[in-house]
A = this chain, B = another copy of it.
Amino acid sequence: MAEFRHDPGHRRWVIVSTDRQRGPGDYNIPARPYDEGVCPFCERQEGRTPAEIYAVRGGTPPDKPGWKLRVFPNKYPMLATDESEIQRGAMGVYDWINGVGAHEIIVEHPQHYVLFHQFGVDHLTEVIRAWRLRLNALKEDGRFRYIMIFKNHGESAGASINHQHSQLLAMPVIPRIAAMALSTAREHFHTKERCLFCDLLDQELADGSRIVAKNEHFACYIPYASRFPFEMAILPVAHSHDFAALGDELLRPAAEIIDQAMRRLAALFGDLPFNLTIHTGPNTGKSPRRAGYWSSLKYDWHWQIEIIPRLAATHGFEWSTGLYINPTPPEKAAECLRQVKI
Chain B hits for A177, CB < 8 A: 320-323
Which residues of the partner chain B approach A96 to less than 8 Å between Cβ atoms?
Answer: 3-6
| A78 B15 Cβ-Cβ under 8 A | yes
Q: Smallest CB–CB gap between A278 and chain B, Å?
A: 10
Q: Are B159 and A316 in contact (CB under 8 A)?
A: yes
Q: Give the docked Cα–Cα distance between A172 and B3 (Å).
A: 11
Q: Which of B5, B79, B158 contacts A94 (CB 8 A)?
A: B5
Copies of this chain assembled into the complex = 2
Our pick among B13, B152, B199, B279 for the contact of A176 (Cβ within 8 Å) is B13
CB nearest neighbor in B for A314: B158
- Given known A-B contacts A79-B15, A173-B13, A98 and B3 have beta carbons under 8 A apart: yes
The complex places the Cα of A234 from the Cα of B175 at a distance, in Å, of 26
Is residue A319 contacting chain B, with contact meaning CB distance below 8 A? yes
Q: Which B residues are CB-close (under 8 A) to A180?
A: 180, 322
Query: Using Cβ atoms and an 8 Å threshold, which residues of chain B touch A3?
Result: 96-99
B175 with A321: CB separation less than 8 A: yes
Asked whether, in the complex, the Cβ of B203 is within 8 Å of the Cβ of A92, the reply is yes
Q: Are A316 and B150 in contact (CB-based, < 8 A)?
A: yes
Contact B148 A317 (CB under 8 A): yes
Q: Does A80 contact B (CB under 8 A)?
A: yes
Task: Sample 22 A-B pairs with CB under 8 A, ordered by A number.
Answer: A2-B80, A3-B96, A8-B94, A10-B176, A93-B199, A93-B200, A93-B203, A94-B225, A150-B320, A157-B316, A158-B314, A158-B315, A158-B317, A159-B316, A169-B317, A175-B321, A176-B323, A178-B321, A227-B319, A228-B319, A277-B320, A277-B321
Q: A10-B176, A171-B323, A275-B316 are in contact. List 13 more A-B contacts (CB 8 A).
A: A4-B98, A6-B95, A8-B93, A13-B97, A93-B200, A94-B225, A159-B316, A176-B321, A177-B320, A177-B322, A178-B321, A180-B322, A275-B317
